[in-house]
Structure 1
Amino acid sequence: MTRPPDTYTIGQLSRLSGLPVKTIRFYSDAGVLPERDRTPAGYRLYGEADVARLELVRTLREIGVGLATIRSLGERDLRQVLDLHLRTVEAQLKSLQRTRAVLRATLERGDPAEEDLRRLNTLGRIGAAERDALMDAFVAEVGGGNRAREQWLTCLRDAMVPELPAEPTIEQLDAWLELVDLLSDDDYRATLRRQSDDFWERREGGFDAEAWRETNDAVTQVVQDAIAEGVAPGTPEAAPVLDRVVALLAGMHGAEDGPALRATLTRGYEEHDPRAERHWHLVAIVNGTPWPPPETTVHHWIAKALGVTVPTL
């Protein structure tokens, strides 16, 4: 049987490409360079296109692209593969930068301790994929199957676990690690779900995120103006401010201002899990933003105006 035209044996392909026969055979066995045919004696045969493909495989391997990704070239174009690889390299660079920053800070502080090793170990184990998995589980568990609550949590998803800076301080890293632990805590998740059940059950059909933001912005502005004017909660001057706040919140709750709504608001502040405020404090540390933010100050004011004692964190 005559060998098909425009085909090469593995030895010829080796001479054309400059790659060892052993390497080409490995690529063939791995599925990144499929053989075209075989001779009657069982020798592998390759075509003209395989010369160019082998050069592409070699180049992709030299820049670190994995064999599984190269195998998928039949399903993706080269631009997609290179774009995927670029994002992978960028993620790796960020991880290395953070590790370098932690190592430097650790060495500058003196003799390393077990706590320093824990930081490095956790930092190495929690990457972007792990963070996404953590938030998937958090949204699913706290959401509890309520579509509106899951929609709200999804809106907050990126803010709840911010990315570490490229070169975090030890304080930022510790805050981030504590944040990961907190969001992984089963009791914290269950408490958040339980405390918000009544509110979200009334919104099972959907959630208007824009209306929510507008109401929160309006409440924040009303209370900030009162604080700027020196109006303290619990004083006669605070009563009309609280009336305005409750009127705004009434629309959010789908209720009218009255003893029942005020009792609901009061109970919400009384039962508020202090870990939720700690959560956002940790976010502020990681992001390097001031604490407390205006919203936290505003809610402390409202709680006190309703007669609720705010716990000290």
Structure 2
Amino acid sequence: MARETYTIGELSRLSGLPVKTIRFYSDAGVLPERERTSAGYRLYGEADVARLELVRTLREIGVGLATIRSLGDRDLRQVLDLHLRTVETQLRNLQRTRAVLRATLERGDPTEEDLRRLNALGRIGAAEREALMDSFVAEVGGGNIARERWLECLREAMIPELPAEPAIEQLDAWLELVELLSDDDYRASLRRQSDEFWDRREKAGKLDAAGWDEANAAVAELVQRAIDAGVEPGTSEAGPVLGRAVALLATVHSAEDGPEFRRALARGYEEHDPRAERHWELVATVTGTPWPPPQTIVHRWIARALGVRARSVS
């Protein structure tokens, strides 16, 4: 029959756990004691028998004491769901480490570079990646709400998750990407070069994302047709194409098309930090997508066409 109270020794016999372990769980707060006798001995209730069995089961599958201690604020499903996601993350990390170890051993004697990769892989987990992106968005955003929201939309794309079994080239690209996103000078450069554009967006008070995407898509389609037709940026045939493309870009920048805007646009292409293009090239390597993408080819064409006309005017 169920009893109202058990001593720690009786609870030990019922559960099969040593007294020392039960005392540790009590001291850690995962098995709160109900009361003590006048002599100071701990007393437990019937509910503690079931609680102790749950604690033991959760510990056997690797759930941490802090999580178990918070069970009073969460139901068991939440705890197990959290643990499942933790285990899945650990499995992905182990798969990646296994792939790198295999690739390293297949290539012959390990080098210092191989050890650097393994060390970096062990140090940069999901939590570190999220912390990196938090600081990147905050620093590049620079307090401009519109820019910060835009960066949040690109967050996952800017530093994709490594494949479960990455090739050495993918791992090297990913590690370089982490270093680039951590670079204070790169962050400052991105913020500085986009200040004017995002200040206008913030003053407008609204970001027309749909209209922006539509205009950019129209520019890409227009210029890509010219590229496919063999129109070179410096030829006379490129003039009308560039004119229509710049007019569309003016709507994206909330500006009026004209000599001033074209000079500013040309200057923006000339001063564009090459690390930004390298950033997306590294992303393409990690994700296994072709490089360069159509958008990059299109904007390279526009930059060259603007540059040719700027030189001819000067």
The question of a shared fold, defined as TM-score above 0.5 by the shorter chain, is answered with: yes
* CA–CA distance in structure 2, aligned partners of residues 127 and 308 of structure 1: 46
* CA–CA distance in structure 1, aligned partners of residues 209 and 215 of structure 2: 10
Structure 2 residue 255 is matched with structure 1 residue 250 = no
Equivalent pairs, count: 305
The answer to whether the Cα contact below 8 Å between 1:270 and 1:308 also exists between their aligned partners in 2 is: no
Give the counterpart of 2:93 among 70, 87, 95: 95
* CA–CA distance in structure 2, aligned partners of residues 288 and 105 of structure 1: 18
* CA–CA distance in structure 2, aligned partners of residues 274 and 288 of structure 1: 21
* CA–CA distance in structure 1, aligned partners of residues 26 and 275 of structure 2: 55
**Residue 253 of structure 1: how far off its partner (Å):** 1.3
The answer to whether the Cα contact below 8 Å between 1:269 and 1:308 also exists between their aligned partners in 2 is: no
* CA–CA distance in structure 2, aligned partners of residues 94 and 214 of structure 1: 38
* CA–CA distance in structure 2, aligned partners of residues 106 and 221 of structure 1: 44
**Residue 27 of structure 1: how far off its partner (Å):** 0.5
Structure 2 residues not aligned, in runs of 5+: 310-314
Q: In terms of mean alpha carbon deviation, does 57-66 or 219-228 score higher?
A: 219-228
Amino acid at match of 1:82: L
Give 2:263's aligned residue: 263
Give the counterpart of 2:84 among 75, 86, 90: 86
Q: Deviations over 1:94-153 (max 9, x none)?
A: 100000000000000011010000000000000011001101111111111111111111
* CA–CA distance in structure 1, aligned partners of residues 109 and 212 of structure 2: 50
Give 2:283's aligned residue: 283
CA RMSD of aligned residues (A): 1.2
**Residue 170 of structure 1: how far off its partner (Å):** 0.4
Give 1:114's aligned residue: 112
Matches within 5 A, 1:66-215: 66-204=64-202, 205-215=205-215
Runs of 4+ in 1 over 3 A off after TM superposition: none
**Residue 239 of structure 1: how far off its partner (Å):** 1.1
Identity %: 81
Length-normalised TM-score, structure 1:
0.95
Length-normalised TM-score, structure 2:
0.95
* CA–CA distance in structure 1, aligned partners of residues 160 and 46 of structure 2: 50
* CA–CA distance in structure 1, aligned partners of residues 165 and 83 of structure 2: 23
Give 1:10's aligned residue: 8
Amino acid at match of 1:25: R
**Residue 247 of structure 1: how far off its partner (Å):** 1.3
* CA–CA distance in structure 1, aligned partners of residues 300 and 306 of structure 2: 10
* CA–CA distance in structure 1, aligned partners of residues 39 and 65 of structure 2: 29
**Residue 308 of structure 1: how far off its partner (Å):** 6.0
* CA–CA distance in structure 2, aligned partners of residues 212 and 55 of structure 1: 58
**Residue 207 of structure 1: how far off its partner (Å):** 2.4
**Residue 209 of structure 1: how far off its partner (Å):** 2.6
SS in 2 for 1:191: helix
Structure 1 residues not aligned, in runs of 5+: none
Give 1:235's aligned residue: 235
Give 1:39's aligned residue: 37
